[in-house]
Amino acid sequence: MFLFESIPWYSALMFVAVVAALMLANEIARASKWASVAFFIVLPIVLTIFVWPTTAGPGSSTGSWFHWVKVYSALAGCLGFMALRFSPRLARNKYALMFPAAILALNILEAVIRDFQVTTMDGVVDGVTMVGGSWNVMNGIAGLLNLLTICGWAGIFIGKGRKKDMIWPDMLWFWIIAYDLWNFAYVYNCVGNHAFYAGAALLISCTIPAFFIKKGAWLQHRAQTLAFWMMFTMAVPAFVTDSKFAVDSTHDPKALFVVSAISLVVNVAVAVYQVHRIATTKRNPLKDELYVELAAYQKVALANRPTTDDVAGASTPVTAGAR
């Protein structure tokens, strides 16, 4: 069983180039507020007026409602996170801190709806080959579990340092892996022609910085790399479908089933673990952080949380979990 058709050497190199380009763009956006303004406000306006109506129109592989909603919801996430990062007043507002969780949940829900929608599809739809089946239902359920296990949003804070990253300590590695497996399965199920880049490469481009460059900022990395990719693929949809670098899915029902089954199993495991945490700690996942005792949480919080010296001229560090 193979996930993809043959992968020539130049497509493998392009895969690496896509990952590197997305990571570089993400780092530029992290480093400069004005670069973020150019990337996430000026550029989308230009593309919306002059490019996407032609390149992402009806019949193109990015001409469905989902792609248009996805690009603007990703951009909305980037803009909302910018507002939190660069406005201290907003960053202290508990209602504003609901936004990251809400936009993440909306993005997951959009994909879940599309997965269920594709269940009955067969053949070429909007330029993309669809093979609907039980795998769409399995992965749709996995997506709902992934959505329901979002927790700890009240603990989001803006990290110390010049880049002012949006840090979410309760969003730990096991949830991120569960998300990655679910999202890859979604892309493989519903946009199989794009899955080599829009599934694997895109997810790697935000997971590497979340694990090795700036821990705790996964959602910021994810929103920015997703926005970059969506803007590019809506402007140049042929890159993933008709160019020499395109790598198509095998559209093998066995592969579709296995990918979605793995996604479901891992997301069930995360959900079971979270229920166990809730039962043993008596914490409310809608208000409380669930994982403050874990070493992974404490490492992120202590490395990024501003000290009292940063915020009030004192020298005592703010402890992990402090509000």
DSSP 83-96: HHHH-HHHHT-TTT
Q: pLDDT: is 114 or 58 the higher one? A: 114
Does residue 66 have a pLDDT over 80?
Answer: no
Do 290 and 170 contact (CB within 8 A), yes or no? yes
pLDDT of residue 310: 56
Instruction: Determine, yes or no, domain membership for 319.
Output: no
Total number of domains in the chain: 1
What is the reported pLDDT for 1? 54
Whether 2 is in a domain gets the answer no
Q: Which is more confident, 161 or 314?
A: 161
d(CA 216, CA 199): 22
Which of 220, 218, 216, 208 lies closest to 296 in space, CA to CA?
216
What pLDDT was estimated at residue 317? 37
Whether pLDDT at 315 is above 60: no
- The overall average pLDDT reported for the chain is 92
Rounded mean pLDDT of 118-124?
93
- Measured CA to CA, the distance from residue 33 to residue 40 in angstroms comes to 10
136 domain residue, yes or no: yes
- In this predicted structure, what is the pLDDT of residue 308? 56
Question: What is the bridge-based pairing of β-strands 128-131 and 166-167?
Answer: unpaired
| 82 falls within a domain | yes
- Average pLDDT of span 21-41: 96
More confidently predicted of 58 and 319 = 58
318 inside domain: no
Q: Which of 38-52, 219-233, 237-251 has the lowest mean pLDDT?
A: 237-251
pLDDT band at 58 (very low <50, low <70, confident <90, very high): confident
Compare 308 and 159 and report the one with higher pLDDT: 159
Domain residue limits at 131 = 9-311
Average pLDDT over residues 12-23: 98
> Which of these, 92, 93, 161, 167, lies nearest to 320 by C-alpha position?
167
Average pLDDT in the 167-181 region?
98
Helices and strands, counts by H and E, the chain: 15, 4
Residue 312 has pLDDT above 70, yes or no: no
Asked if residue 317 belongs to a domain, the reply is no
Q: Is 1 contained in some domain?
A: no
| Residue 81 included in any domain | yes
Average pLDDT for residues 10-15, to the nearest whole number? 98
Is the pLDDT confidence value at 124 over 90?
no
Task: Return the pLDDT at 248.
Answer: 93
In this prediction, residue 307 has a pLDDT band, given cuts at 50, 70 and 90, of confident
Instruction: Label residues 129-142 b or e (16+ Cβ within 10 Å = b).
Output: bbbbbebbebbbbb
Stretch among 135-139, 233-237, 303-307 having the lowest mean pLDDT? 303-307
Would you state the pLDDT for residue 57? 85
How does residue 65 score in pLDDT terms, banded at 50, 70 and 90?
confident
Taking the CA atoms of residue 39, residue 45, residue 50 and residue 54 in that order, the dihedral angle to the nearest 10 degrees is: 90
Q: What is the largest CA-CA distance in the chain?
A: 64
- Whether residue 217 has pLDDT greater than 90: yes
